[in-house]
Chains A and B, each alone.
Chain A
Amino acid sequence: MLELRRIRKSYPTPQGLLPVLQGVDLRLAAGESLALMGESGSGKSTLLHLAAGLDTPDDGEVRLDDQPLSALDEPARARLRRERLGLVFQQYHLVPSLTAADNLRLQARLAGREDAAWSRELLERLGLAGMAGRYPEQLSGGQQQRLAIGRALAARPALLLADEPTGNLDENSADEVLALLLALVRDRGCALLMVTHSPRVAAPLDRCLRLRHGRIAEASL
């Protein structure tokens, strides 16, 4: 499904190049869930951005469904993101002027594969059925994150990339959102790569990798 080979990535700083990823290898099979852990600045989010085609590595290769992302131009990578990937962000990034229902359907519509029944089911399962007409500012943090998960899943992605999806939530809400996310991912047979720094959040996933100083340090919790 997703394969990262010998990925290297550095960022320019006033003091010179700062290496963030220094030869990372990672494989994720279809339907598998993987937690990526590490301290702040260990390169977790950079790795997620590379996997999503939001950024390009300095060296190494990212392959999605055996297709190298480096061979794609920007519009093709954008098409890949909207058709094959689902992204969940820590800050939700909902469109404030669209209702919950429209936010949920946004990516599916952009991908041209809106399924009204699936969208309704998602709203139902996410506990947002009675709030379809509300705007994001009228929802709680947990509800907004559930809506963001719904948006990512509404287009039936093959791979869900989640960056600290529960980082802004209290413990109860975080548990609730996580359980829902995993249930939906398993039901759909979708692969999941989740960045987190919480072992508690990483525990229910199939596998866990720890990044330290730009390298994979451990292969289990």
Chain B
Amino acid sequence: MNAASPRTAFLTLFSHYRRHPGQLAMLIVGLWVASALWSGVQAINASARDSYARAEALFSTGLDRIERRDGRPLTLDDYLSLRLAGAPVSPMVEGEIELAGGRRVEVLGVDPLTLPEISGFRTAGGTGSLRDFLQPPYRTRLAPDTLASLTAEDDALPSLADGRALPPLELAPELPPGLAVMDIAVALELLERDGLSHLLVAPDARVELPDSLVRSAAATPMAPGQLTDSFHLNLTAMGLLALVVGLLIVHTALSLTLEQRLGLMRTLRALGVSGRALVGLLLSELLLLGLLGAALGILSGAWLARWLLPDVAASLQALYGERVGIELALPWHYWLGGLAVTLGGLLTAGLGTLWRAARLDVLGLGHAQAWRAQFLRQLRSMTLAGGLLWLVALGLLVWLDRQPPAEGLTPGFVMIAAGLLGSALWLPPLLAMLLVGAGHLLRRHPLAQWALADLQLQLPRLSVAMMALLLALSANLGVGSMVGGFRLTFLEWLDQRLVADLYLRLPPAQYQAAVDWLESRDEIDTLLPRASAEATLLAKEGSQYQPRPASVYGVTPHPTLTESWPLLASQENAASAWRAFARGAAMINEQLALATGLAPGQRLRLSSPSGPLELPIAAVYPDYGNPRGEVMLTTTDLSARFQTSPDSIAIVLERELPPGAIETLRRDLIQALGIGGGSLIDQREIRRRSTDIFERTFAITRALNTLTLGVAGLALLSSLLAQSSQRRGQLAPLWALGVARGPLAGAGVVQLGSAALVTGLLAVPVGLALSWCLVAVINVAAFGWRLPLYVFPAQIAATLALALGVALLAAVLPAWRLWRTSPRILLTEFEAL
């Protein structure tokens, strides 16, 4: 070939799209949406990881923490007495302030002069002068994205809700988002505190601590990146699903264009274009399309991420208490990675096309494809591959069952992926089998028989779009059931746990006065004092676990509480478990039980100021949303053993109080005790806040799910539109034989509706299996607690309706076009055959 030949050959090959612009659009749209959803998720992950990296750089400095055992703030006396004893400790205060306009920011007060050399707090991510930081008017150091989020609305510098001004701002790009660092003196003043959150000390420093204080090693807290891995893995899995669904569209489009260009390619070969050159030309075409699709996708992905990031940030805050910036931070590898994944996916989807082009038989020009034999071979391969994937999934399930909890997140997702893909591969053989069966049953109904036979003809191309629909529907149902089940369980659990009408938090000094005041009121039915402390769960001889920090929580086992508090496991029954608890036994949360293997009837060992405690375990209780292990004792036991006093009171009111009585009590209580409104929380308020957090937590999941389903619908629609002109050619003879356009168009809608209904029916067990995997495997590995599996018949019906809806939506346009096609056009199609 001379220099102009490749160009001529390329333009000749590409000219196919001039006559079939729908196929070109389908290819680009497939690449676009696949790349957009994948890139969007990656942009979210990249931005969150940037936030974690900044937080880790600041917090993971290898310093030990010293706190009070009873969880209360340290006093200045605690700090000074240690300093006077020569201990190299440094004070720190943490808290949250509310800015004008309701925005909240975390404040960290440090003393750079006493901080150990290795601490990242020493410079607090800033480059300004230490003197300015330490002297009035002081400085507020924060990251640029924090500043942007605080001043986004009016561009004014932020001030506190009560009108006080923040110290002058100083940018510190290395600080994590949502955090303001300042001198400890000004932080205490802004937070209106007189106590310290904790003290920091270098790990190698020897410090003698009084019994009331506890030192925790630097390695104990987990890095935010580690904690949130499960969340990001979940997002990546959803992005991958969308990528696969999008690439299925691309695969369909490529197969179609190849099939329709076989004659053209044979002609080119006969005219002297070598097989290698032909593959090269197709590869260039793929690259060109890939670059276009990737560019559109990556840009849309960044836009999508910007749209979803506030919800993701809210989810991460709710789930892990991690602050994530809502400004996108996209590293260079985001752009290259997006391009590589899109092009890689495109090449994978187009590998079959290139292979067939390379093996093209020049002498086969004009020979009809033996589609039946080819399709049967394909169905056999799909059945086999689907079976193998299911074996992999089952093997992983058995393996995961033998692993300790909180492990196996990635294998869990691999198991889900194998199961989903296996099911998708089984769909076309199942549809083909059903079509043959239905064809026999309906042999007396000629139009139905023809429609079924015709659907068989369409199946090779339609099956890929149907597989995409199955994946999207199963994910929709599975994730929907999981979220719905979680919602139900969570709200029920919240109702059971929130037995009191009001919750009062107060300093120990005010506890007795509060009790006396409350007991004098007629509105009060019961007071349930609560307490909390921190301890270490000690390993026992032969135990499978390492010592680990655990929260200790004290409740009052009054019938009001014990009758509704849910238990997951007890030795005999709930009543005997509560009796044992009242006598001094402990209860543990599910997280701790799963992580340590501890169970009712066994004993646990817990550190305490009075030495190690050995307690029998009476029961295991659910504790959704808590990432930590927790041991529950009676408030009386906890106060005695941890030398502390109750820190809050759950207030149960008399039933049938007159309207407004709660508000009056609230007002009187706040006035009598001189406490802030934030110390007294209404049960309804807690419920509302928790529900809000819950809804926001799953907003991203719902959004991605809906988008994936949209992509699957698009796959179906574009697949139908791309072959609609070819379909008219197949329908024209039947029209000539005497079937009017109306019934023909109707048959097309029924064909696709039935195929979608079968797909929807298959999506039900697959979706439920997915839901089970999510609640019983992924949830346990990611969060340490298991959810009950709920089946929602309305959701199943909605899935079936959705399958039908998507299919009908996709079928209606081609059917309408057929119905509107004038006989003259049909005649043209007919004559062209």
- Cβ distance A137 to chain B, nearest Cβ, rounded Å: 6
Contact B450 A55 (CB under 8 A): no
Alpha-carbon gap, A134 to B124, bound state (A): 82
Residue interface bits A103-120, CB-to-B below 8 A is 1, else 0: 001110111000000000
| Residue B446 interfacial (CB < 8 Å) | yes
With A137-B368, A137-B372 already in contact, the answer to whether A98 and B737 are too (CB < 8 A) is: no
Q: Does more than half of chain B's interface fall in helix, strand or loop, or is it mixed?
A: helix
Contact A110 B737 (CB under 8 A): yes
Residues from chain A with a CB closer than 8 A to the CB of B823 are 54-56, 74
- Cβ distance A187 to chain B, nearest Cβ, rounded Å: 22
Contact A74 B368 (CB under 8 A): no
Chain A residue with Cβ nearest B832: A91
Alpha-carbon gap, A98 to B457, bound state (A): 10
| Residue B741 interfacial (CB < 8 Å) | yes
Contact B739 A110 (CB under 8 A): yes
Residues from chain B with a CB closer than 8 A to the CB of A45 are 831
With A54-B823, A91-B833 already in contact, the answer to whether A97 and B738 are too (CB < 8 A) is: no
Residue interface bits B452-489, CB-to-A below 8 A is 1, else 0: 01101100000000000000000000000000000000
Alpha-carbon gap, A74 to B446, bound state (A): 20
Residues from chain B with a CB closer than 8 A to the CB of A125 are none
Contact A74 B740 (CB under 8 A): yes
| Residue B597 interfacial (CB < 8 Å) | no
| Residue B827 interfacial (CB < 8 Å) | yes
Q: How many residues of B contact A (CB 8 A)?
A: 30
Residues from chain A with a CB closer than 8 A to the CB of B456 are 97
Contact A49 B739 (CB under 8 A): no
Using a CB-CB cutoff of 8 Å, which residues 107-161 of chain A contact chain B? 107, 109-111, 135, 137
Contact A93 B371 (CB under 8 A): no
With A54-B827, A74-B741 already in contact, the answer to whether A87 and B736 are too (CB < 8 A) is: yes
| Residue B735 interfacial (CB < 8 Å) | yes
Residues from chain B with a CB closer than 8 A to the CB of A96 are 371-372, 457
Give the residue of B444, B454, B738 whose beta carbon is less than 8 angstroms from that of A110.
Answer: B738
Using a CB-CB cutoff of 8 Å, which residues 428-449 of chain B contact chain A? 443-447, 449
The A/B interface has a contact count, at CB < 8 Å, of 78
Residues from chain B with a CB closer than 8 A to the CB of A49 are 827
Alpha-carbon gap, A182 to B449, bound state (A): 30
Give the residue of A82, A95, A105, A135 whose beta carbon is less than 8 angstroms from that of B738.
Answer: A82
With A74-B823, A97-B457 already in contact, the answer to whether A81 and B443 are too (CB < 8 A) is: no
Contact A102 B449 (CB under 8 A): yes
Residues from chain A with a CB closer than 8 A to the CB of B445 are 109
- Cβ distance A52 to chain B, nearest Cβ, rounded Å: 7
Residues from chain B with a CB closer than 8 A to the CB of A83 are 738
Chain B residue with Cβ nearest A91: B833
Give the residue of A81, A85, A106, A137 whose beta carbon is less than 8 angstroms from that of B446.
Answer: A106
With A49-B827, A91-B833, A93-B833 already in contact, the answer to whether A137 and B371 are too (CB < 8 A) is: yes
Chain B residue with Cβ nearest A94: B733
Residues from chain A with a CB closer than 8 A to the CB of B446 are 105-106, 109-110
| Residue B742 interfacial (CB < 8 Å) | yes
Residues from chain A with a CB closer than 8 A to the CB of B449 are 98, 102, 109
Residues from chain B with a CB closer than 8 A to the CB of A106 are 446, 450, 737
Give the residue of B443, B454, B740, B741 whose beta carbon is less than 8 angstroms from that of A95.
Answer: B454
Using a CB-CB cutoff of 8 Å, which residues 351-383 of chain B contact chain A? 368, 370-372
Query: 15 A-B contacts, Cβ less than 8 Å apart?
Result: A55-B827, A82-B738, A83-B738, A89-B736, A93-B733, A93-B833, A95-B450, A97-B456, A98-B449, A102-B443, A102-B449, A106-B737, A109-B444, A109-B445, A137-B368
- By a beta-carbon cutoff of 8 Å, the part of chain A in contact with chain B is 45, 49, 52, 54-56, 74-75, 78-83, 85, 87, 89, 91, 93, 95-98, 102, 105-107, 109-111, 135, 137
